[in-house]
Amino acid sequence: MTPLHEVIINNKTSIKPVWIMRQAGRYLPEFREIRKNNPNFIELCLNDKLSSKITLQPIRRFSLDAAIIFSDILMLPYGLNQKVEFKKNFGPVLGNLDITAMSKIDDIDFVEKIYPVYKAIKFVSSEMNLTNKNTIGFVGAPWTLLVYMINQQSPKKSVKKNFFDDEYLINRILLIIEKFLKVHIRNQVENGANVIQIFDSWAGLLEERDYPNYIYTPTLNLVNFVKSLNVPVICFPREIKNYKEFCEIVKPDAISIDYNVDPLFIRKNIKIPVQGGLDPKILLTDQENLKKQTKKYLDIFKDHPYIFNLGHGILPETNIEMVECLIKTIQDF
């Protein structure tokens, strides 16, 4: 069994595996070198040779326990023929939403459009299996994808004023999202992903009264689907106001926490394996502080099944030496 499986499935508390959200990315000089010659982000994600190479860069450099495929949650709208582009210093910009055309897309068209993602997973997983490490596939949660697809850009603080006006449209989009997320997940698993993470990056935008419709029900459907494929599923409902209720209703195999949540509360109230929590900004301070904050999480979760990770993605300006210090601190603990 891999270290992640030991923690998630066997509830092992004696080991503390580590991987980092966005570990294949901009803080690595070898990634920046590739990016310089490949300015189109979507095309880079769909270049299976380069995306698998990028996925393995942090594995070659650090002693991490899992690779997470270099891709993006917006592969879903892209696969559904909504225009997706990434503008420098701005983020993703999506085209108009043609729900009628989207309703006519079938599984084969969708898979064909993003097939290189699965090819990359197949290659990466064959490498990872040799070293008994995990290959993590991932998707955006239905709510977060809905936000991007209707808002047509990152919402930052809030969604469009009239976002909730057309309930019929929202429900139709959610059904399409769920259908194709299942297709996307199945193809990742069939090509070697042996853990799936569901990123609900914009869960924090909702009021609690809206959780059942937009977070609990659609995410539960996905969690049950992943479990039916005999693969563990980690959920990351970032900045949700009630992690405990989320776990009780959605029942993921493990829960990833953000850096605004009190880890002591989580340890006391959540029974399932926990992942993450450390503020990525800590890696921008100094090594002593980093060791202290890392050990705080390791101490709190020393008798709880725990996967070390950050409370969000690693920041581009992070120094390589700090990542090495982080991993050494965890492995020496």
pLDDT in tens, 251-280: 999 999 999 999 999 999 999 999 999 999
The pLDDT of 27-31, averaged and rounded, is 98
- Listed by start position, the domains of the chain span 3-332
Tokens of 112: 């064909």
Bridge partners for 85 per DSSP: 93
DSSP string, 263-299: HHHHHHH--S-EEE-B-GGGGGS-HHHHHHHHHHHHH
Q: Work out the pLDDT band at 89, boundaries 50, 70, 90.
A: confident
* pLDDT for residue 88 is more than 90: no
Spatial contact of 301 and 274, defined as CB atoms under 8 Å apart: yes
Q: Work out the pLDDT band at 250, boundaries 50, 70, 90.
A: very high
The pLDDT of 172-192, averaged and rounded, is 98
* pLDDT for residue 163 is more than 90: no
Please state which of the ranges 10-19, 48-57, 85-94, 258-267 shows the lowest mean pLDDT.
85-94
* CATH numeric code, 3-332: 3.20.20.210
CB atoms within 10 A of CB 208: 11
DSSP state of 172: H
The pLDDT of 162-173, averaged and rounded, is 91
Which comes out higher in pLDDT, residue 286 or 89?
286
Handedness of CA 86, 90, 92, 96 (dihedral sign): negative
Identify the pLDDT of residue 207.
Answer: 94
Identify the pLDDT of residue 261.
Answer: 97
pLDDT tens, residue by residue, 302-324: 999 999 999 999 999 999 999 99
* pLDDT for residue 129 is more than 80: yes
Identify the pLDDT of residue 90.
Answer: 86
Place of tokens 């997973």: 121
Identify the pLDDT of residue 41.
Answer: 96
Spatial contact of 294 and 278, defined as CB atoms under 8 Å apart: yes
Identify the pLDDT of residue 160.
Answer: 81
pLDDT tens, residue by residue, 104-126: 999 999 999 999 999 999 999 99
Give the global pTM: 0.97
Average pLDDT taken over every residue of the chain: 96
Q: Work out the pLDDT band at 281, boundaries 50, 70, 90.
A: very high
Q: How far is CA 196 from CA 77, 185, 333, in A?
A: 19, 8, 27
pLDDT tens, residue by residue, 139-161: 999 999 999 999 999 988 678 88
